[in-house]
Structure 1
């Protein structure tokens, strides 16, 4: 199985890089992990709605260029479906059993995702109504993916 995480923007904070590296190492025994960091567009202070839409469109095109039609794509969006960890684990296992060899997760930039990216996703998923920095969301996501594999194994990691 392959897990692909597509994100917009680079992670600069060392503590986030360290956490992501730790969970990447842990995941290596369960799957092949590919992380794609796409450049984000600089958003001017007090950007107009038209400028924001142009930025979103550019970032959206970069994201769409990294998705293959044979992948099961999960886009993180605040309006998406929320899952308890056990159900998320079951979803990942189910999609693998259905023949998807790659599960692709998308985390947009600070402005979110375009409707085009969302429509290309097989599933919109939410981690709740809180607004989290997209850099922190990557760490939260990768930990939940690791937790999913541990649940599938019946490990005490998930208590």
Structure 2
């Protein structure tokens, strides 16, 4: 009885959902909002990195709330400098400065590729990736939390 209900629901979904959709939107965020928010974040990151590259890190601007309020480095402190090092080819130095540079690099390089793939394939890949990452993070939150605490301790000890 349950399997019949599941099969009829799947048939109903194929009638209701547009052909361009690859998955059912189970996310708490719409595709339009996800694109808008991610584009704003992406452009902010790109502008910040370009500013940092041209000022060669010699700016005295501190944007970290933890550093401003508590005078303690957060897990994200040093990611801009590490990103600049990574783009200059100094991979080991970048990872030593802040291992979170991996996420920065992946976001900066893969985001435009995902948008292009969405346009070409006419699929909601961004939403699929968002749902996948959301489910993975929920399953491994303890690991990622511990990793960020270790990076935080690293940043505090090295006064980054």
TM-score relative to the length of structure 1: 0.24
Between Structure 1 and Structure 2, which shows a larger proportion of strand residues? 1
Decide which structure has the larger Cα Rg and report it.
2
Richer in helix (by share) = 2
Structure of higher RCO (CA pairs closer than 8 Å, 6+ residues apart): 1
